[in-house]
Amino acid sequence: MFDAEIIAAVVAVLGTLLGGATSTDVAVRIIGQLLKGKKQKELEESAEVPEAIVIAGEAGALSSQNQVNFQISHNHLLRRLAETTIQQKRNQITGRILMFSSTVLTATQIIIGTVMTTELIKNLLSPTLVGIMGIAVIVSSSINQKFSPGVGAQIAFQKADLFKALIRDAENKVVILLTETNPDQDDPKPVNELTTKFSTEVRKIEAITKKNSKP
């Protein structure tokens, strides 16, 4: 209503200054063009998205992508932990088997060696049995010297203990990472760094052999 009154007044003034109906029509057309331009500008301004909303949208998309990347990295680390846990259990079982084998071979050598060196017991046995026992001593001694199951058991137990300690340390770091360092879980970089360090330590443990094992 207010705009209509202003328009009427402006048209009247222009008509008076220009004189005649034709001048009034020209004034009306001029006013109409001005109003049309004004409305167009208002529509354009109303259609503009505030810069803050645009920035917030971009930040939200970036955060969402980071969370996806974080989940991928986190899942990869969990797989590495699971694989290492299997290795730890496998070394533990291997160590027990090798230790049992070493004990059996050592006991065989001691028992048969004692029998073979005792003349009284040796005379009570048949020559065939004595020969078999002698072969058993030689075989068990050769196995011990060649394969050293006792040393292999120690290495397997050492690896199992190192894997166990490494897994516990990594699990503690994951908890700290999820609760303190990166609670929003939107930055995959710390997880990737932890996975890289973890994998490096795993390779070091895997490389332990009889030559470089700790006494």
Per-residue confidence (pLDDT) for residue 22, from 0 to 100:
47
Instruction: Look at 131 and 193; give whichever has higher pLDDT.
Output: 193
Q: Which of 43-47, 130-134, 200-204 has the lowest mean pLDDT?
A: 43-47
**Per-residue confidence band for 112, with pLDDT thresholds at 50, 70 and 90:** confident
**Per-residue confidence band for 151, with pLDDT thresholds at 50, 70 and 90:** very high
Per-residue confidence (pLDDT) for residue 37, from 0 to 100:
58
Q: How many CA atoms lie within 13 A of 105 on its CB side?
A: 19
Per-residue confidence (pLDDT) for residue 87, from 0 to 100:
95
Would you say residue 2 has pLDDT above 50?
no
Per-residue confidence (pLDDT) for residue 184, from 0 to 100:
72
**Cα(first)–Cα(last) distance of the chain, in Å?**
99
| Rg for the chain, CA atoms, rounded | 45
Can you tell me the mean pLDDT for 117-127? 79
pLDDT tens string 22-41: 445 555 565 565 555 555 55
Instruction: Look at 8 and 201; give whichever has higher pLDDT.
Output: 201
Q: Where are the domains positioned within the chain?
A: 2-45, 63-206
